Homo-oligomer: A and B are copies of this chain.
């Protein structure tokens, strides 16, 4: 390994950054799972942007949760309002090391400590149009099936889970 790397280190995508994001994600996944929701990470939307977590609630509503692991990470994202066009409710999630005040009051807010998470602020509802909801649900269903098939063809058998469709 060269001592001087020719690749500029981007602190937003370095190892610690993604490790923190993963910890936030894990806590949020646990919280939502306890709420009876289902969660698909890293879903590409029709615009090409990727949502960190797409949530199917027990009622069948669709939420998007964007994980921000640092102040810089949040500031670098000027396009977050777009996510609202693809969900019924939109939340930011972060960890206690990031000041809660930087996140817009008009978004939901989830604080995760890596083990669990707490919903600090509910998100306002902006119901999806029927056609958008239908397209998005198809997108979620396709992505889940595609990932499972890719895993299976690579020799990783992911079995059905008790109560998975409830």
Contact = CB atoms under 8 A, between A and B. Distances in A.
A138 B166 CA distance: 9
A56 interface: yes
A147 B165 contact: no
Contacts of A42: 159-160
B40 A144 contact: yes
Interface in A132-147: 134, 137-147
A164 B146 contact: yes
A150 interface: yes
Contacts of A38: 141-142, 145-146, 149
Nearest to A46: B165
Nearest to A166: B142
Contacts of A134: 134, 137
5 contacts: A41-B148, A42-B159, A142-B164, A147-B158, A150-B158
Interface string A32-56: 0100001111111000001000001
A148 B40 contact: yes
A3 interface: no
A120 interface: no
A48 to B, nearest CB: 11
Kindly list the 8 A-B residue pairs having the minimum CB-CB distance in the complex, ordered from nearest.
Answer: A144-B144, A146-B164, A38-B145, A139-B165, A140-B141, A141-B141, A40-B145, A143-B164
Interface in A63-110: none
A138 B165 CA distance: 8
